[in-house]
Amino acid sequence: MNKSSKIYIAGHKGLVGSAIVKNLQSKGYTNLVSRTHQELDLLNQKDVEEFFKKEKPEYVILAAAKVGGIVANNTYRADFIYENLQVQNNVIHQSYRHKVKKLLFLGSTCIYPKDAPQPMSEDSLLTSPLEYTNEPYAVAKIAGIKMCESYNIQYGTNFISVMPTNLYGPNDNFDLETSHVLPALLRKMHEAKVDNLERVEIWGSGNPRREFMYSEDMADACVYLMEKIDFKEIQPSRHSQLDWESKSEIRNTHINIGTGIDISIKELANLIKEIVGFKGKLHFNTNKPDGTMLKLTDVTKLHNLGWRHKVELEEGIKTMYEWYKNETK
Ligand code: GFB
C-alpha cells in the first residue's frame, strides 16, 4: 500500500470508519474514497457492483455494518443478520471480482462462544454455542470471516479479518436504546448531573466484565495490519498454520484486536461517574440482560505482530467526554 493507493473505506462516518479515515490521513494517504448511505446503498448488489466498476479501489476497508448494544442486538435480530450478511457479501464478492489487492473485514469478539476459555483466543472460533443475545450478529460476522478465508484459499485473494473488542470514542452512538454501554453511561451520567437527578439506571447486575478499546487505537491497529500483513504469498490450502516474519504462527482466519485488560460494568460505571462528576447513586436494573459474563481478548497474536494499544481506558473516556460535551453544546 503506498500513499497514493486508492483506498475505499466503507462506513466512513461511523465510530470505526471515521477513526480509520483520520488515521490514514495522518499517515499521509491521499487517495481515500467514501460514499454516504444516501450515495451508495451497500445492501443493493447492483449498486455495489456499479460502484466497484466505476471507482476500482485498490484497497478496501469494510467498516460498514449494522451494530448496536445488547438490547438492539436482541430486539432487531432479523435486521442484524440480514443487513450484515448482505453488506459483507456485496463488498467482499465485488472486491474479489474487481481484483482488490487487499481487504480488511471488521467483525467483533462476540463471534466467540459464550463460554469460551478466557482470554478468548482466535482458536476458540466455532468450538461451542454462542451468546443468545447477539447470535444473529455473530453468525453474520462468522460468515464474513469464513468468506474471506474461503476466497483466499480458492481464489488467492488477500482478505484479512480482524475481531475488535468493545470499542468507544468520538462519533459513537449515544442513543440510549441502541447504544453500547460506554456511550450510554456517559450520556446518562452527564444528563443526570446537568438535571440534578439523584440516580442513574445501569442495566443488568453490574457483574459482567468487558474490555474496551479507544476507536483511534483500533484504527491504528487496522492501518498497521493493512500495511504489514499479506496473505497473498501464502498457500493456505496447504498450511493451516502460517509462519510470519516474526516467526509467530497464526491461522489464516482472523486476528483479535484488543487491550487484554477488562473491567466489570460496576467498576466502569463508577469510573464514568467520577470523570463526569455525577454525585448521585447507581441503580442496577436486573430486569435488563447481562449478556455474556466474561469477554476478555487474547491479544498474543497482535502483540507478536508488533502492535499494542496506547490509550488507557480513563484517558480515552476523558477525551471522549470532552468531545461529547462539545458536540452537545
Ligand atoms: O455494551 P453492551 O450493550 O454490549 O453491554 P455487549 C455490555 C454490558 O453493559 C451488558 C451492561 O451487561 C449490559 O447489560 N449495561 C449497563 C448497559 N448499562 C447499560 C446501558 O445503559 N446500555 C447498554 N447498552 N448496556 C454487544 C453485542 O454486547 O457488544 C454486540 O451485543 C457487539 O454483538 C458489541 O459484540 C461489541 O458487550 O453485551
Provide the residue ranges of all domains of the chain, joining segments of one domain with +: 7-171+213-260+297-312
Query: Does 166 show up as a binding residue in the annotation?
Result: yes
**Which of the residues in the chain have pLDDT under 50?**
233-251
ipTM over 0.95: yes
Using alpha carbons, select from 151, 160, 96, 149 the residue that is nearest to residue 126.
149
The H-assigned helical ranges of the chain are 15-26, 45-55, 70-75, 77-97, 135-155, 181-194, 215-228, 265-276, 300-304, 313-327
What's residue 329's pLDDT?
85
Q: How many whole angstroms from 183 Cα to the centroid of ligand 1?
A: 10
Nearest CA to ligand 1 atom 31: 70
Q: Which three cell numbers stand for residue 157?
A: 485473494
Helices and strands in the chain, H and E counts: 10, 13
Q: Is the CB of 70 under 6 A from ligand 1?
A: yes
Q: Helix (H, G, I), strand (E, B), or coil: what is residue 250?
A: strand
Using alpha carbons, select from 295, 301, 293 the residue that is nearest to residue 110.
295
Q: Which three cell numbers stand for residue 66?
A: 449494522
Q: How many whole angstroms from 314 Cα to the centroid of ligand 1?
A: 19
Query: 70, 112, 290: which to mutate for ligand 1, most atoms within 8 A of CB?
Result: 70
CA distance 248 to 251: 10
Residue appearing with cell numbers 453544546 = 329
Task: Please name every residue paired with 262 in a beta bridge, in sequence order, or none if there are none.
Answer: 211
The predicted model scores a pTM of 0.92
CA distance 87 to 37: 12
Q: Is the CB of 212 under 6 A from ligand 1?
A: no
Q: Which three cell numbers stand for residue 171?
A: 462519533
Cβ atoms of residues 5 and 31 within 8 Å: yes
Q: Helix (H, G, I), strand (E, B), or coil: what is residue 149?
A: helix
Q: Is the CB of 165 under 6 A from ligand 1?
A: no
- Domain 7-171+213-260+297-312, what architecture? 3-Layer(aba) Sandwich (3.40)
Estimate to the nearest angstrom the gap between the alpha carbon of 311 and the chain centroid: 16
Q: Is the CB of 203 under 6 A from ligand 1?
A: yes
Using alpha carbons, select from 188, 209, 201 the residue that is nearest to residue 276.
188
What's residue 240's pLDDT?
45
Going from the C-alpha of 226 to that of each of 105, 176, 194, 222, the distances in angstroms are: 11, 34, 43, 6
Q: Which three cell numbers stand for residue 289?
A: 440482560
Residues recognised as catalytic: 137
Q: How many whole angstroms from 184 Cα to the centroid of ligand 1?
A: 9
Residue appearing with cell numbers 460496576 = 266
What's residue 249's pLDDT?
37
